Amino acid sequence: MIQVFYSSNGQAEVAETTTILKEINVRNALWLDLFNPTGDEKRAVEEFLGTNLQSRAQAEEIESSSRYSETLDSIFINTDFLTPSADSYNMESVSFILTGNVITSIRQVPLRSFTDIQRRLLFNRKLYPTGFHILIGILENRIDLDADMIELMSKETAQYSRRVGLGEDVNEEFLLDINQLQENTMLVRENIVDKQRMLSSMLKSEKTPKSAHGKLNILLKDVSSLINHTNFSFERLEYLQNTVLGIINLDQNKIMKVFTFVSLLLMPPTLIASFYGMNIKLPLAGGNWDILIVSGLMLAVIIGALIIFKVRKML
């Protein structure tokens, strides 16, 4: 699917077919949005722009030179957008090609950031005079969504911390939930750092119009603050994880202490019983009151052991 946004009589128009590319001039084009495009749509855009589009494999490469590069006429940018799933987030690769004042985007999934900017572009053409401004608008919207994700994860972290403070039962499932939240935090941080690298490269580029520098600087400051926030959230999760592990270890130590204490209490009576179970003559053996005397002796040993443990504060 392709959506071609172009300028007509001072207003932004949109067409969902490649035939419009034969009717308009490159100077009138604003944004070519390729959503899960076909081969024919890619070839039509390449012919229209006079440049080659990146493949999905190229978009998913992690080398810095593959994430951002420039040629004589174009800027190629590959980045990732987060999409929420049931328990975590998915990284979706998106490619941008800036050729002159035209921006081309290639994506495989629907993204809210794109839908919002497309609606604003059609409502007010003057907000986005060039492809650079459209890209900055997409990134600004995306960074706001990332900030919402970070805020949501911070609230989840606070809820887990509150549950631990209230003394709720912490178990393996609770620990796995914290670990999943750590993974999500690292994923969001990785995504934001990628945006920071891209914004810095755009700011240094001579192809970026001077009118966009102010907005890029503001976005860089926002990204830096988000990175600091994710670092703090991750440290807080690590502290919470260590606290939960400590509580679990304490609970296990208490259980082991009970078993050890019971074993120690039963050792003297067991020793006495083993003596009187031998086939030899022992004191207090052979009378009618033997069972009561031996039981009383065992009970006295247990009570004595309890008193010793109490006095030495071992209970």
pLDDT of residue 77: 85
Structure tokens at 245: 């592990």
Structure tokens at 303: 């009570």
Give the domain extent around 283: 253-311
CATH no. for residue 42? 3.30.460.20
Is residue 257 domain-shared with residue 301, that is, in the same domain?
Answer: yes
Q: Across the strands, what pairs with 14?
A: 5
pLDDT of residue 175: 78
Contact by Cβ (8 Å): 184, 88: yes
| Strand, helix or coil for residue 82 | strand
Is residue 121 domain-shared with residue 218, that is, in the same domain?
Answer: yes
Low-confidence ranges of the chain (pLDDT < 50): none
Is residue 211 domain-shared with residue 89, that is, in the same domain?
Answer: yes
Cα Rg, the chain, nearest whole Å:
35
Contact by Cβ (8 Å): 188, 153: yes
Is residue 156 domain-shared with residue 233, that is, in the same domain?
Answer: yes
Is residue 57 domain-shared with residue 160, that is, in the same domain?
Answer: yes
pLDDT of residue 173: 78
Backbone angles phi, psi at 19, to 5 degrees: -65, -25
* Through-space distance between the first and last CA atoms of the chain, rounded to whole angstroms: 73
Is residue 241 domain-shared with residue 259, that is, in the same domain?
Answer: no
Is residue 151 domain-shared with residue 71, that is, in the same domain?
Answer: yes
- Total structural domains in the chain? 2
Sign of CA dihedral 271, 275, 276, 279: positive
pLDDT of residue 281: 63
* CA angle, residues 122, 111, 79, in degrees to nearest 5: 110
Q: Return the percentage of the chain with pLDDT > 70, whole number.
A: 88
pLDDT of residue 43: 83
Domain boundary among 227, 248, 269: 248
Q: Is the pTM for the entire model greater than 0.75?
A: no
Domain boundary among 248, 267, 286: 248
CATH no. for residue 294? 1.20.58
Is residue 135 domain-shared with residue 268, that is, in the same domain?
Answer: no
**For residues 131 and 99, what is the distance between their CA atoms, to the nearest angstrom?**
8
Is residue 62 domain-shared with residue 111, that is, in the same domain?
Answer: yes
Is residue 144 domain-shared with residue 264, that is, in the same domain?
Answer: no
Domain boundary among 220, 248, 276: 248
**For residues 52 and 72, what is the distance between their CA atoms, to the nearest angstrom?**
13
Is residue 285 domain-shared with residue 137, that is, in the same domain?
Answer: no
Is residue 43 domain-shared with residue 106, that is, in the same domain?
Answer: yes
